[in-house]
């Protein structure tokens, strides 16, 4: 879920490891700001419409991230998270938990 119509609490810890590696863990808890609006993706597309639910709690997601800064220009990153559906999502469609992982790389000129 993206930042539209959200209130959240997002604690995070990060540590620096040898060889330019960082690792972090976070846990985000999300609520709908307006009960008369749905849940949106980051670019603003509606993911879950309001429907019949009057629930505010959308869900929570623990996650991890490992990043290696190969040199001053190049980095690689791996992320994993699982989104646990809250009452609003459970009362709407698809109404289930979601796992995801992502691999990223970046090059800065």
Is 86 a member of any domain? yes
Structural domain including 16 reads 6-107
Higher pLDDT, 86 or 47: 86
pLDDT at 3: 66
User: What's the rounded Cα separation, in Å, for the pair 53 and 40?
Assistant: 16
pLDDT (tens digit, 9 = 90+) per residue, 7-62? 999 999 999 999 999 999 999 999 999 998 988 877 788 888 888 889 999 999 99
pTM (two decimals):
0.82
Is 93 a member of any domain? yes
What is the mean predicted confidence (pLDDT) over 96-107? 94
Token couple for 20: 């330019």
Question: Domain total for the chain?
Answer: 1
Query: Which of the four pLDDT bands, split at 50, 70 and 90, describes residue 1?
Result: very low
Is 1 a member of any domain? no
Q: Is the pLDDT of residue 93 over 80?
A: no
Q: Which of 54, 5, 55 is nearest to 33 (CA)?
A: 5
């Amino acid at each position: 879920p993206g930042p539209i119509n959200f209130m959240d609490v997002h604690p995070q810890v990060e540590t620096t490891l040898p060889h330019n590696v960082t690792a972090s863990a976070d846990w985000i808890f999300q609520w709908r700001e307006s009960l008369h609006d749905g849940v949106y993706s980051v670019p603003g597309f509606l993911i879950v419409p309001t429907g019949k639910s009057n629930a505010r709690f959308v869900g929570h997601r623990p996650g991890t991230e490992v990043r290696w800064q190969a040199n001053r220009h190049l980095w690689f990153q791996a992320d994993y998270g699982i989104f646990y559906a809250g009452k609003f999502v459970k009362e709407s469609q698809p109404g289930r938990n979601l796992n995801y992982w992502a691999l990223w790389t970046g090059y800065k000129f």
